[in-house]
Amino acid sequence: MQLSYNNRTALVTGAGRGIGRAIAETLGAAGVRVICVSKNAESCQSAADAIVAAGGQATAMAVDVSDSQAVATAADAMIKEFGTVDILVNNAGITRDGLIMRMKDEEWNMVLQTNLNSAFYWVRALAQPMARQRWGRIINIASVIGLMGNAGQANYSAAKAGLMGFTRSIAREYAKRSVTANIVAPGFIQTDMTAVLDEKITAAILQQIPLNRFGQATDIANMVAYLASEQSAYITGQTFTVDGGMVM
């Protein structure tokens, strides 16, 4: 099946590295114009440069997605430049792991701000123009940890579970306007985020993955590419685990 996109524009947050980079490059290669957002200007610029070098259309914008005002300003600028952002991929995320008894307010708040509040800020700014044109795709990158929980990741798990509830609510809110909202919940994927795990933890995780390996960023990008396409029009409010069979 050939996926089609009709010259759409996508915003991918956390596009500088890892999963977001793979999503941005996959959409770019499929002919979608991609706005690459990350915190660090060099990081999102290198993603946009790679898409353009491969023959696609892309632009970069450094935005701290945990900052409500920064997101509102950036979203305004995007709408002025591109009209509507048709496809929104909320992918930027961080971890600040620790047992709950030792978790600092700052570690809790930073993870909630970056992984959950950011999605609210972008959707608030960009969903209305999608609704007006009667077409939009919102794809939020959560985690299997939002479904399963994980000792030492109460902040991250709460943020990702919150993102799931948020997504189902906006799916209901915007369905009448043909704007869909779905969740992709990756399992363990080889990126900078999981590179910090030591051998013992990695071995324990592998035991829980039926396919017996970590995933690649492109495994997530392929699912997002489908959900962003014309062909996914009848799918909304769903959670897709891409996790080697970890959650079933």
Contact between 93 and ligand NAP by CB under 6 A: the answer reads yes
- Which of 121/135 has CB closer to ligand NAP? 121
Contact with ligand NAP (CB under 6 A) among 28, 56, 136, 186: 186
Residue 188 in contact with ligand NAP, rule: CB under 6 A: yes
Q: Is 156 a catalytic residue?
A: yes
Under rule CB under 6 A, residue 91 binds ligand NAP: yes
Q: Which stretch binds ligand NAP (CB under 6 A): 52-60, 119-127, 167-175, 182-190?
A: 182-190
Nearer to ligand NAP among residue 135 and residue 146 (C-beta): 146
Binding of residue 56 to ligand NAP (CB under 6 A): no
CA dihedral 88, 89, 90, 91 (to 10 degrees): -160
Percentage helix, strand, coil for the chain under 3-state DSSP, each rounded to 5:
50, 15, 35
In the 3-class helix/strand/coil scheme, how is 174-204 assigned residue by residue? Answer: HHHHCEEEEEEEECCECCHHHHCCCHHHHHH
State in angstroms the smallest separation of the CB of 110 from ligand NAP: 8
Total number of residues shown for the chain: 248
Q: What are phi and psi of 196, to 5 degrees?
A: -80, -10
Q: Which is nearer to ligand NAP, 14 or 129 (CB)?
A: 14
Among 18, 25, 34, 42, smallest CA distance to 93 is for 18
Residue 66 in contact with ligand NAP, rule: CB under 6 A: yes
Cβ neighbour number for residue 132 with a 10 Å cutoff: 12
Alpha-carbon distance of 195 to 206, in angstroms, equals: 14
- Site residues (CB under 6 A) for ligand NAP? 13-14, 16-20, 38-40, 43, 63-66, 91-94, 114-115, 141, 143, 186, 188-189, 191-194
